Structure 1
């Protein structure tokens, strides 16, 4: 399938493309500026990243850099006031299938946004000057006037740091139940937000994202406002494809030190675990069933999205098979449970 017929952001096929993007995505992702191909390659990216590492405000361990448009509609690296974050194929000795990571994140974000209807950061695929693909996402922590939102990740809100909880603090210091309680403490409309959070946790399980840790969930408030809500979803990935071990089921436990009888037998989270988790966070059963219905009706749409993604053929097969396996697990009901 010719790449030129596929929008590099939404993956929809159309003849109405400008520099690889459809009009809707040019509006949503690039604020109506049609971007040119990047004027630098990954090697230059790495050099620029090293030069700017002490000046940039974006965090995280993956190679990334802030971008902004110049007067010629080129996206260029910038140390401050960047509106975009660029992530290329990373340099990571311990990960597998590195070349698929940008497409993996892009696909996972689209599934969150378009199929599960979760508020999700706008994103797409861009080309380096040599044609190599990279992942790009639009920053959501600035308003239209350039004022920065007050944003804190869950680790910060819980006062959890390496010095208080060790090097694996992002994974070991809390559970998803604790995250839900944090939402109730900080968010006025917490009932809606807790349901949103439940859906995000379930999605991460379905796509085998084992990196949905405390720093990959955040609350933010607009400038001159004290009302906090969940930020758009971000940093989604099928980690199982890149880390060849059981790590990848969940970054955090649903409920620390408690497992349902079904889990004790099966060894994985199933329907019973998510229902019990929902009960503890006071999510009505009727809402839980609606979310499960959405997940069960998603498979055909997921398959189409995976097939049309930028993943390699092996990655497409793995991604889809993993999703099907997880879908079977969340529908598993032990007869005596």
Structure 2
């Protein structure tokens, strides 16, 4: 582990007393500047997660725990209900998935994709677990209504859907359809570029925010699945322009047209991606993935970025 790198933002720590985090990052994640204790090993988390299956209000195939700080804000404790954060260690079958998710969530954040506070946390066995603050809870711990798109589109199979179906729902039901359709476009293109072929319907949600209305939730579960599933054949989990693989620039431009993104807005979006290679490379150097995975991550991103931005002519709606 690189001691001078913050385990949240993965940027260098300078003149800080609280390591291995910037105090601002620690406060953003836990609302305290003092590092809370977590007396769990990876195996402890797996064991505890198995015991609490059916008791927690979080789902998914990856072992995870619902946690919160104790009243003194000195220790992280496991809870069956009223959790404020989720702990997700790397499964044995997918080593370094925690580091994978933190890196790509940070990359998404650097592209102005909305993400919940998140970071890595050292366990008692020296391994790192991924932790993310729940966006379906307010500061008082009360639930904020959230539905994923498998529920919203009444799909039993989370892979049986398309990006266009999500877009059509947002255009009809979002409080801010103009912005949410652009956000959907950005996230879809970003997922393709990083090799996230597992962004299914349950990885997109609509949140009923008490102040902001009904809108696309912050991004979550952002990983490079291609980095851990080298035999993965689909480029996207959901259909885009009638297909899941062999995607080209035209497919994304047609998505923009379907989402009714105006030409100037599309130009601004595409322009924002111009800085992504530099941000990606700088972040990759600092991140905590092993070098072999860094090398593969770079190849995946470079190939796909050239595939989309090698020959780009923005059309879109006027």
Is 1:312 the counterpart of 2:300 in the alignment? no
Q: Is the 8 A contact 1:268 1:329 kept in 2?
A: no
Measured in 1, the distance between the counterparts of 2:76 and 2:125 equals: 15
Q: Which residue of 2 aligns with 1:249?
A: 235
Q: Which residue of 1 aligns with 2:260?
A: 282
Q: Is the 8 A contact 1:272 1:333 kept in 2?
A: no
Q: Which residue of 2 aligns with 1:263?
A: none
TM-fit CA distance, 1:23: 1.7
| Cα distance per residue 1:280-317 (max 9 Å; x no partner) | 11011222222222212211111010110010001111
Measured in 1, the distance between the counterparts of 2:271 and 2:44 equals: 46
* Aligned-pair Cα RMSD in Å: 1.9
Q: Which residue of 2 aligns with 1:49?
A: 49
TM-fit CA distance, 1:222: 2.8
Q: Which residue of 1 aligns with 2:23?
A: 23
Is 1:198 the counterpart of 2:188 in the alignment? no
The equivalences for 1:1-337 within 5 A come to 3-15=2-14, 16-70=16-70, 71=72, 73-92=74-93, 98-114=94-110, 116-161=111-156, 169-172=157-160, 174-223=161-210, 227-256=213-242, 268-333=246-311
1:124 aligns to what SS in structure 2? Answer: strand
Measured in 1, the distance between the counterparts of 2:47 and 2:144 equals: 30
Distance 1:327 1:226, change over 3 A: closer
1:228 aligns to what SS in structure 2? Answer: strand
Q: Which runs of 5+ in 1 are unaligned?
A: 93-97, 162-168, 260-266
TM-fit CA distance, 1:81: 1.0
1:3 aligns to what SS in structure 2? Answer: coil
Q: Which residue of 2 aligns with 1:262?
A: none
Measured in 1, the distance between the counterparts of 2:212 and 2:187 equals: 24
Measured in 2, the distance between the counterparts of 1:238 and 1:332 equals: 22
Q: Is the 8 A contact 2:38 2:124 kept in 1?
A: yes
Q: Is the 8 A contact 1:19 1:34 kept in 2?
A: no
TM-fit CA distance, 1:248: 4.5
Measured in 1, the distance between the counterparts of 2:255 and 2:46 equals: 43
| Cα distance per residue 1:218-242 (max 9 Å; x no partner) | 001135x792111110001110111
Number of residue equivalences: 311
Distance 1:310 1:17, change over 3 A: farther
Q: Which residue of 2 aligns with 1:95?
A: none
| Cα distance per residue 1:44-69 (max 9 Å; x no partner) | 11221122112101111111111111
Q: Which runs of 5+ in 2 are unaligned?
A: 314-318
Q: Which stretch of the first structure deviates more once superposed, 5-14 or 34-43?
A: 34-43
| Cα distance per residue 1:157-192 (max 9 Å; x no partner) | 01111xxxxxxx1112x2101110011121121011
Q: Which residue of 1 aligns with 2:316?
A: none
Q: Is the 8 A contact 2:13 2:21 kept in 1?
A: no
Q: Is the 8 A contact 1:270 1:332 kept in 2?
A: no
